[in-house]
Amino acid sequence: MPTLRDVKKRIRSVISTRQITKAMEMVSAAKLRRAQARVMQVRPYSEKMTQILESLAAASTGELSHPYFEKREVKKQTLVLITSDRGMCGSFNANLIRRAQEWLAGKDKDKVELVLIGKKGYDFYKRREWPIAGKFMDWSGNLDYGRARDIVEFLTGRFLKKETDEIVIIYTMFISTVRYKLTTVRYLPVEKPKVDEIQHGRIEYIFEPSPENIFTELLPRYALTKMMTSLADSFASEHGTRMIAMGAATKNAGEMIDTLTLQYNKARQAAITKELLEIVSGAEALRS
């Protein structure tokens, strides 16, 4: 049975842990607000970019062609896995790695390569048989336009050089503060925009230069926007899950402190009662 000193030491330890988890919860909440604002900025831009591409496709007089549209026999696939650099965010990374493992199941390791964004994904796969074509770490949960552009250039370069035939991204989509969705999306080749006949009838833009030339210029920007959206969603989800995890840890620490305090008081009361009984017994013995 633990002594009073042991219980008191454990209470102090749990109090210190609660202070740390509470601080981490507050920091994650502040980061989440900024990341959520970034998601709200990126998504409308991405949606508008898609609308512009559809408008250009509707106004185009010929067949749209671009290297990003090229669909060829899939001899090599690239999986881009977006995880976090730090832990303490509940099941965020475990769910992503589980989804990646499901995607990799049954595939030939010679026909698949990994591009890992985030330290946790790299730590998991660096000791496994799957080849790693590239890694991008040390984000600290912050969206960096320059580094996102480097990732896009790396991926599109491999696709254009035919070092890979298909690129798939697995990330966590941010829905709300308490809702997230594991998402698997094909990054390259890009699906050609769907032309709506009704939309085609009401578009009366005059394009200069031609829609085909504008489309060629916009498609690389679309690829960058798609990557930025995935990263923004992933970072916001990371901060949200860490905030929830640290909130739960803080609550559990409080409950543990209450339990230990009750245990300490009972043990202290038992010790006092024992001392009183010893004093009374000693006094009775002296009288007799």
Report which of residues 277 and 211 the model is more confident about.
277
14 & 135 share domain: no
As beta bridge partners, residue 181 has 173
DSSP 216: H
106 & 220 share domain: yes
Residue 99 sits in a domain whose CATH number is: 3.40.1380.10
50 & 79 share domain: yes
- Residue 110 placed within a domain: yes
231 & 255 share domain: no
- Helices in 60-126 by DSSP H: which ranges? 92-104, 119-125
Residue 79 · residue 112 · CB < 8 Å: yes
230 & 259 share domain: no
The number of domains in the chain is: 2
74 & 35 share domain: yes
The residues annotated as belonging to the active site are 89
Structure tokens at 192: 């050609």
What are the tens digits of pLDDT across the range 275-286? 888 888 887 777
75 & 17 share domain: no
For residue 218, pLDDT over 60 is answered with yes
Lowest mean pLDDT among 25-39, 98-112, 201-215: 201-215
The percent of residues in the chain predicted with pLDDT above 90, rounded, is: 56
d(CA 222, CA 190): 10
